[in-house]
Each structure stands twice: as C-alpha cells, then as structure tokens.
Structure 1
C-alpha cells in the first residue's frame, strides 16, 4: 500500500517564494516517489477567517489552483481538489470538535499570536478573533484525517497543526477503537524557514515577500530590496548567512550553486549576487508564469479539473465518514 501525502495551501494572498519553497516544491518532489499517493487541495474555507470579499475570495482560490497546475501538478496522477467541494470534511470537522479540548485550542500558535498582539496593544484579549480562527486547527485536522493521510509536508512553524491532528485522532480512537491514522509531519530541513526581503521569515504579515509569478522588472526591483550587510565587494562572505544565496540555490543548477558559493567565499559584490539571483529565478519562472496567466483566464477549465478531483476525494471521504458515524452510533 502506498503512503498518502496531503498538502493544502490557503488562498489569503498571492503565492510567494516562501509558499513555493516551503510547501509546493517539496510536495511536488514527493509526488515523483512511486511509494506515495499524493493529494493536494485549495484550502478555501480556511481563507474565510480573513477574506470576506466574494470577488477576492474567488480569485485567490483560482490563483492557488493555477499555481499548482502551472508548476507541474498532474491532476491525472494525484487527487487535486477544492476543499469546499468535499462537504464530508465539514461534517467531520464538527465531530472532531467534540473531541478537542478548549485548552488545546488555546495553545494553537495563530490564536496565541493574536492574543499576545492584543496584549501588547492593550486591547481586549480576544479582539479580532473569530471562531474560525480559534477552531482553525480542528478544520485542519479534519482535512488531514479524512483522507487517512500518513505524511504531511510542512514548514517548521506548521508542525503543531499535525501534532494537534494526532492528539484529536488519538482521543477519538480511544473512545471508538482504531479509526484514524496518526499522521507524521515531514519538514524540509534546509528550507524550514525562508527569509524574506528584510531577513525575517518570509510572510505576508511582514510585507516582505516576493510573489512567485512576479513580472521581470518588478522581480528585479524586489530582489534589489533584499537586505544585505555593509561588507565591501572584495570581502569574503558567508553564503549560509545570506538571504540571496538561500534563494539562489533553490533555482540554480548544482554547478551554478558551486560556482556562486566559491564567489561568496572569495568575495562578490552584492549587486552582482542579486543580478545572478534574478537571472536564475526568472529563468525558472518564465514558463510557469505564462501557464499561470493562461489558467487564470480560463476559470471554467480549472473548475472542471477541481470537480473531477473532488469526485476522487469523495470516493474516499463518503465511505470513511459513514464508518466514523457508525462507530459513534448514528444510523447511516
């Protein structure tokens, strides 16, 4: 039996390099391994915690779908669906919520971060917290557990979500016997936290991202904004401490990485390093960028692909939810 891997992306903004390197790239690499069965989804309901404008919500969802497809996802070889097209996930979400201690949700990173932010701003503890945000980890657990997922590729900051899914699954299994598979997380060690333009973690909340499909001129400008130190061109530089080199090695060939590493150690001007980063990054993005544009102009095509993927997903979710409900005691 193949191990099932699941990866979802929330459509709350344009896909940036952090999303690609931290989640999309490793997930697509795992798809090449014949030991795995892969599932990818557009986590549109998760976006509802923040995005409440219908047009924006719809366009961002299409943007995530187009990104996966432009970067090489083959829907014929994977389960590729839109979360909202699989209603069983949301019924399971309620069931799992009844096995989720409030204390566990209190410890969830997103909620704690909002509480800490409110405290610093001397606001009410729960200012800006809707129940979607508070219960977010339960819906994520439903996403994972519904499809008997065994491996979840995540960034280092997402490990907790998989651990919460395991805790909830164990609670249910304790009451009703072995039902849910306990998922394992898989972290890409080299790219667990990708630095942004200012050196902090690349994040929309810091406004320090580089959109993946940015046009060449804007891409060059953003790369030029990457924070560097004041070392002169001739001074040796540590490639492992450089945002530029970290990004460069994700898009360059092995030989190019070796050469760039040597140039860093001998001494390279930051302007030259940034130009080289633009060259390899734009080279990689050129073809997917055009495909991405074509897909965005054909939403009906994406709808058809996602609906077909939802049928594959529901071939798993419908009978499994029936099994779960029977164990609880429902007549189904």
Structure 2
C-alpha cells in the first residue's frame, strides 16, 4: 500500500520563501516518489480565522493554487483541491471536536501566544480570539485524518498540529476500533525555521517575508535588506549561520553551492553574496513566475482544476465518512 501524503497552505498572504522551502518544495519532492499518494489543498476555511474580506480571500486562494501549479504540481498525478469544496472535512471536524479535550486546545501554540500577549498587555486573555482560531487544530486534524494521511510535510511551527491530530485519532480509535491512520510529520531539519529579513523567523506576522514571485527589481531590493553580521569582507564567513547561504542552497545547483561555500571561506563580501543569491533565485523563479502570472490572469482554469480535484477527493472522503458514522451508530 502506498503511503498518503497531505499538505495544505492557507491563503492569509502572498506565498513567501518560507512557505516554499518549508512545505511546498519537500511536498513536491515526495510527489516524485512512487511510494506515495499525494494530496494538496488550498486551506481557504483555515484562512477565515484572519481574512474576512471577500475579494482578498478569493485573490489569495487563487494565489495559493497558482503557486502549486506554477512550481510543478501535476493535478493528474495528485489530488489537488480547495478545502471548502469537500464538505466531509467539516462534518468530520465536528465529530473530532467531540473527542478533543479543551485542555488540549488551550495548549495549542497559536491560542497560547495570543493569550500570553493579552496578559502581558493587561487585556482580557481571550481578546481577539475567535472560535475558528481556538478550534483550528481540530479542523486541521480533520484535513489530515479524513485522507488517512500517513505523512504530513510541515514547517516546524506546525508540528504540534500533527501531534494533536494523532492524539485525537488515538482517542477515537480507542472508542471505535482502528479507524484512523496515525499521522507523522515531516520537516526539513536544516530549514525548519527559515530566518526572515530581520533574522527572526520568516513570518507574515513579523512583516519580514520575501514573496516567492516578487518581480526582479523588488526581489533584489528585498534581498539587499537581509540582516548580516559585521564580519569584514576579507574574513571567512560562517555558512551555517548565514541567511544568505541558507537561501542560496535552496535554489542553486550542487556545483554552485560548493562554489559559494568556497567563496564564504575565502571571505566574500556580503554585498557580493547577496548579488549572487539574487542571480540564482531569479534564474530559478523566472519560469514559474511567468506560469503563475498566466494562471492568475485566467482564474477559470484554476477553478476547473480545483473542481476536478474536489471530485477526486470526494471519491475517497464520502465512503470513509460513511464508515466512520457507521462505527459510531449514527448512520444506516
């Protein structure tokens, strides 16, 4: 039996390098492995925790879909769908909520972070918390478990969500017998937390991201803003702690990486290193950027692909939901 792999990205901002390196790139690499069945989705309902503007939601959702396709996702070889087009996910979400302890939700990172921020600011602990954000891990568990996902490529900040899905699955299985596959997360250790422009984790929240399909001049300006240390040009540079080198090796060929490693040892200046980073990145992104722009200009193509993907998804989810409900005694 092939292992099921599942990855989703929520439309809460433009796709940035952290999304690509932490989730999209490893997920697409798994798609090339014949041992896996792959499913990718646009997590538009997850995006509702932050985005409440109709036009913005539509534009960002198309942006996520166009990114996957521009970077090489083949919808004929994988299931590629929009989360909102598969109603079984939300039906399962309620079922799983009935097996999810509130204490477990209290410990979810996103919720805890807001509570701590409110406490430090002398505000009500739940200020700014909607129930979508609070129960976010349950919906993510439904995404994962409904597809019997064995492997979930995620960034390091999403590991807890996979663990929560596993905990809820174990609770359900204990009551009704082996039903859900227990998922495992997969992260790229070297790029588990990709630094942003200011050295902190690359995040939309910190406004320190680099959009993946930024046009060349703006991309070069953003790369020039990357924070570097004060090592003089003539002295060797540390590749392990360098944001520039971390990014460079994600887009360069093996021989280029070794050449850059040597230049770091020889004392390349930061300005020159940033220039070389721009060259390999822009060269890699050029083709996908063009495809992305073409797809964004033709949303009807994206709709057709996603609707076809939802049909394929529901061929899996409808029978499994019937099995789940039968086990619980709430279906004929």
Which TM bucket (shorter chain)? over 0.9
Q: Distance in 2 between matches of 1:227 and 1:190?
A: 19
Task: Look up the match of 1:111.
Answer: 111
Q: Distance in 2 between matches of 1:30 and 1:313?
A: 19
Task: Look up the match of 2:277.
Answer: 277
Task: Look up the match of 2:288.
Answer: 288
Task: Look up the match of 1:197.
Answer: 197
Structure 1 residue 158 displacement after superposition: 1.1
TM value normalised by structure 1: 0.99
- Asked if structure 1 preserves the Cα contact closer than 8 Å seen for 2:44 and 2:61, the reply is yes
* Cα-to-partner distance string for 1:33-72 (whole Å, 9 max, x where unaligned): 1000000000000000000000000110000000000000
Task: Look up the match of 2:12.
Answer: 12
Q: Distance in 1 between matches of 2:186 and 2:39?
A: 15
Task: Look up the match of 1:100.
Answer: 100
Task: Give the secondary-structure state (helix, strand or coil) at the position aligned to 1:239.
Answer: coil
Q: Distance in 2 between matches of 1:273 and 1:188?
A: 24
Structure 1 residue 230 displacement after superposition: 1.4
* Cα-to-partner distance string for 1:192-211 (whole Å, 9 max, x where unaligned): 11010011110000111000
Moved over 6 A (4+): none
Q: Distance in 2 between matches of 1:149 and 1:260?
A: 38
- Asked if structure 1 preserves the Cα contact closer than 8 Å seen for 2:322 and 2:331, the reply is no
Task: Give the secondary-structure state (helix, strand or coil) at the position aligned to 1:268.
Answer: coil
Task: Look up the match of 2:243.
Answer: 243
Task: Look up the match of 1:266.
Answer: 266
Structure 1 residue 17 displacement after superposition: 0.1
**Where in structure 2 are the equivalents of 1:26-175 lying within 5 Å?**
26-175=26-175
Q: Distance in 2 between matches of 1:134 and 1:204?
A: 19
Where structure 2 has 5 or more consecutive residues not aligned to the other structure, the ranges are none
TM value normalised by structure 2: 0.99
Q: Distance in 2 between matches of 1:309 and 1:89?
A: 15
Q: Distance in 2 between matches of 1:316 and 1:328?
A: 19
Q: Distance in 2 between matches of 1:173 and 1:259?
A: 52
Task: Give the secondary-structure state (helix, strand or coil) at the position aligned to 1:182.
Answer: coil
Where structure 1 has 5 or more consecutive residues not aligned to the other structure, the ranges are none
Task: Look up the match of 1:328.
Answer: 328
Q: Distance in 1 between matches of 2:64 and 2:199?
A: 25
* Cα-to-partner distance string for 1:65-118 (whole Å, 9 max, x where unaligned): 000000000000000000000000000000000000000000000000110111
